[in-house]
Every structure is written in C-alpha cells, then in structure tokens.
Amino acid sequence: MTNFSRRTFARLFGATAAASSLPLPALAAGFKDAIPQPLTPTTHHFPQGFLWGSATASYQVEGAVNEDGRGPSIWDTFSHTPGKTAFGDTGDVADDHFHRYAEDIQIMKNLGVKTYRFSVAWSRVFPNGSGTPNPRGLDFYNRMLDTLLAAGIQPYCTLYHWDLPQTLQDNGGWENRDTAQAFADYAGYTAAHLSDRVKHFMTMNEIRTFVELGYRDGVHAPGLKLTAARVAQLNHYAVLGHGLAVQAIRASAKPGTKVGLAENAIPTAPVIETPEHIEAATRAYRLINASFLTVIMEGRYHDLYLKQLGSDAPKFTAAEMKTIGSPVDFLGLNVYNPAYIRASNSEKGYEVVPSPASYPHMYSPWLEFGPEGIYWSPKLATKLWNVKEIFITENGASSTDVLTPEGEVYDTDRVMFLRNYLTQLHRAVSEGVPVKGYFLWSLLDNYEWADGYSKRFGIHYVDFTTQKRTPKLSAKFYKEVIARNGLA
Ligand code: PNW
C-alpha cells in the first residue's frame, strides 16, 4: 500500500501534480520498488450477506402533509411557528418523496443497497393519534413497499420518528400515560397490516433526542421547556410506550417478525484504550444512556440514575418496568459522535473528557468527528447485555455541499467521515461483535428538523426548487463499498 503524504508526493512529483486530480497510483507505479510494503496487509471486507442500507424518516422526506387524510403532527405545528426553525423551513414538501418514491427506489437500486429504513407517519394512519384508523393512511406505504420489494430491497420500518399526532400533544403528549397506550395500538395495527412484507420493526427512533430536545430544551417539537421531574416522568412514559408496542407488535404481526428500536446511545469511547479506561467507558455507557437504552435492556432504572434525579425521579410500578424490559430481537444503534471517557475515583467511576475548541466537527456543530464511536457502541452493548443482533440504524454527516455547474458535489469531508467510521465498524465486526447491517443517514438531503434545509445529510444532493436528485461523491464512494462488500 502506498503511503505518500501530500507533501512527500509534492516533493517527488511537483506541487502542480500534487494539486491536480491525476490518479496517485498511476503516477506512483514507476516507484513501485521503492514503496515499502506493509508488514500485515489490511483488508476491510465485511461478512457475506452484510446488509448495506440507507435510511430516511417520514416528516423529513415525504411532504404531502394534507394528502389522503393525514392529520397534523407536532412537527407541522412547530415548523409553522415563527422563529422555531432555520429560515422558517417546514416539511410541507420536503423531498416530495410521497410522490417520487418510485424514483427514489430507483436511486437505491442504482446505489446497490440491500435494505432501506423508513418510518411511518403515525398521523397518516390515525389522524388523531388514536380511535378510528384512516383507511387510506397505509396506501402510500403499501405502494412504496411493493415497489421496494420488486426492486429486491428489504424494508426496515420505524414506527415513531418524532411526528406525534397533534391531537395527542393537545392532551399532554408524552406527559400523558395514555399516549404510551395509543402508540402501542397504532404500532400493533400497522404491524398487522405491513408484516406480510416488513420483517423488522423498530418501535421508536432516538427516545432521548425527542424527550430532551423536544420537552426539556424546547428546540424540537413540541418546543417545551419542562422541569427535570416532568421530563423524567414523560421519558418513563416514552420507554413504556416502546415496551407496550413491542408486546402489541408481537401479538399482531405475522410469526417471525422481529422487533427492536433505533437508539442514539451515546458511544462512550475510552480516551486511551487501556483496561482501566475501557472499564470506565463500560460503566459510562450504562449510566449516560440510563434513561432509555439501559432501562429498556435491563428492565430497571440504574441506581445512580435514580440517585442523581433524587426527588425528580420518575414514579413507576413493577409491572411497568417489566413491560419496558420486554426482550427485543435486535438493537438498532444510531451512531454520530462519541463521548471520550477516562477512569476516575468518583462514585460513577468515570469522567467525560471535554473536547478542546479545535476538535474537528462536521458542518452541524454538534457533530464531532469520532469514528471510534461506531466501534465502541456496539461492542459495549454486546458486552453489557449480550445482544445477539445489532444494526447501525443511522450514521452519516452534514457537509456544505455545493453543486457545481457540471453536476458534481465534492463532499470529500463526508467521504472521509464515512471511510473512517466504516473502518472502525469493520474493526468491531472482525472481532465478532454481531453487527449485521449498516444504514447510512441519509439517502437524500432532507428536512433536518430545526435546521430546516440548511444542513444536508444526504449522499444524494436535492435541489429543493426542482426536486432534482444528484449523486454526490459520497454516493459513488458508498456504491463501491457495497459492490466490494468492504473498503478495499
Ligand atoms: C438524528 N443532536 O437526529 C435523527 O434520527 C435524524 O432524524 C436526523 O436527521 C439525524 O440524526 C441527523 O441529525 C439527531 O443535536 C438530531 O445531538 C440532533 C442531534 C442528534 C441526533
């Protein structure tokens, strides 16, 4: 393997050649004998059958917010409230995927993905969240699924990706325990209708994000800033909703249907990979993710979590805890940025190492570059809870993404991000961590919540005026990864 730095390359071949797009291996060929060969050749091939996929979510791509009897969700209300989203952007049209799903499935086919993770909009199926279902609500998903299966792509379905029916919010949203039951009823109904074609359901996407950003910080729908006690209690009803939904799906779906969830457990990466810091990172993974992943995997709240909350701790019953801990068939992990951890003598047994101001991040300021996270998150989940099947249900990055007149998007930073995360994912898989698939976030640029259309996460560029889709460099990179089932 050649290992020229840009500077060495420039010294050998001249600065102009170094800056040009001439392919480096061709130029280097003459120097082959001079190139030191690595002692241990590294190949990054994934196991046969590894499921390469991509992901989206209903409100971020569908548009068509008033079609076929869809009811309003909290994101319609929030995005139409002045000052809540960047440039007042809404998901009214988004990627118009509701009408362009066939074209988007063709894009997936060209890319070569084996699987696609999408979400169902609850308020299409139950416009008021509960009660009488809307008979046309599932028509779109039926059309989309039939087209997907005809293209040979396996669907993975998320039932709640944050678009709570507004009527339920009017009655307290996740603060109202009835919402948990309404969610289970909707999940059971939808699984009954789709499980002839969908074999994997995820109840919820990122419980922590919608609880904390939506109900504590007020920056996502429904835009509330509640007290710590109220947040802990509604978090409890959200994880309860997950557990009730697991049971409802098992009761109503076709035999063999698998149920899990998609969580952004914060990956805790030992800042130095020695046994004591790895031990600390393991403790940190349980406690930092206590309010959703740990309680779901263990069926009880972490003692220190309850202690930290003190009188703000949630009220719960033993029966609720048993429901929350309903066994799942697989675990979905959304991986973005990790927390770096080191051992300490504190009660927690660890501390989070802060990042300096110079720490690199992607275009979204919160999205720090930390590829080790995709190694440690599934590794620690497996170690702690003996999980048998894991999917990386999201991983991806925002970039400034400029479309050139020639129709190119040179998102080399996203390619760099993906290459490094996939290398670390390979490290996990090669150690036997049971990661069976990877869903890149996202197939298309889409509605990035409060950031509106100002932050692009797609590997296909979307012109939101014409709805034209253009593959970015990262799509070409990912297509090669899929075709080769690996990185080299
Ligand atoms: C996830 N944060 O959200 C979601 O599941 C996607 O819908 C979203 O588009 C994607 O990641 C990219 O943001 C997050 O501020 C949104 O830390 C914000 C944060 C984390 C995750």
Q: ∠ CA 394-391-208 to the nearest 5 degrees?
A: 55
365 touches ligand 1 (CB under 6 Å): no
Distance from C-alpha of 47 to C-alpha of 331, rounded to nearest angstrom: 19
Cα radius of gyration rounded to whole Å, the chain? 23
Q: What is the per-residue pLDDT for 26?
A: 45
CA of 274 to the centre of ligand 1 (A): 31
pLDDT of 42 reads 65
So what's the pLDDT on residue 152? 98
The residue whose CA is least distant from atom 20 of ligand 1 is 209
pLDDT tens track, the chain, 488 positions: 334 444 443 444 344 444 444 444 444 444 555 666 666 666 799 999 999 999 999 999 999 999 999 999 999 999 999 999 999 999 999 999 999 999 999 999 999 999 999 999 999 999 999 999 999 999 999 999 999 999 999 999 999 999 999 999 999 999 999 999 999 999 999 999 999 999 999 999 999 999 999 999 999 999 999 999 999 999 999 999 999 999 999 999 999 999 999 999 999 999 999 999 999 999 999 999 999 999 999 999 999 999 999 999 999 999 999 999 999 999 999 999 999 999 999 999 999 999 999 999 999 999 999 999 999 999 999 999 999 999 999 999 999 999 999 999 999 999 999 999 999 999 999 999 999 999 999 999 999 999 999 999 999 999 999 999 999 999 999 999 999 999 97
Residue 170 CA to its chain's centroid (Å): 28
CA-proximal residue: ligand 1, atom 16 (nearest)? 209
Question: Quick check: CB of 264 below 6 Å from ligand 1?
Answer: yes
Q: Is the CB of 209 under 6 A from ligand 1?
A: yes
Where in the sequence numbering do the catalytic residues fall? 206, 394
Token pair recorded at residue 97? 């995927």
pLDDT of 278: 98
Q: Is 443 in the pocket of ligand 1 (CB under 6 A)?
A: no
Q: Label residues 270-287 b or e (16+ Cβ within 10 Å = b).
A: bbeeeeebbebbbbbbbb
Does the Cβ of 394 fall within 6 Å of ligand 1? Answer: yes
The amino acid present at 64, given as its one-letter code, is A
**Ligand 1 centroid from CA 207, angstroms:** 11
Beta bridge partners of 7: none
- Candidates 3.20.20.80, 3.30.2020.30, 2.130.10.10, 3.40.220.10; correct CATH number of 43-487? 3.20.20.80
Q: What number of other Cβ atoms are within 10 A of residue 373's Cβ?
A: 25
Q: What confidence score (pLDDT) does residue 488 get? A: 76
- Atom of ligand 1 lying closest to residue 213 CA: 15
Residue 221 to residue 163: CA distance in whole angstroms: 8
Mutate to test the pocket of ligand 1, among 59, 79, 206 (most ligand atoms within 8 A of CB): 206
Does residue 205's CB lie within 6 angstroms of at least one atom of ligand 1? Answer: yes
Q: Is the CB of 118 under 6 A from ligand 1?
A: no
Short-list 156, 129, 132, 149, CA closest to 53: 156
Domain segments of the chain as ranges: 1-35, 43-487
CA of 446, closest atom in ligand 1: 9
DSSP string, 226-285: --HHHHHHHHHHHHHHHHHHHHHHHHHSPTT-EEEEEE-PPPEEESS-SHHHHHHHHHHH
**Tell me, what's the pLDDT at 185?**
98
What is the whole-number distance in angstroms between the Cα of residue 5 and the centre of ligand 1? 34
Give the pTM. Answer: 0.92
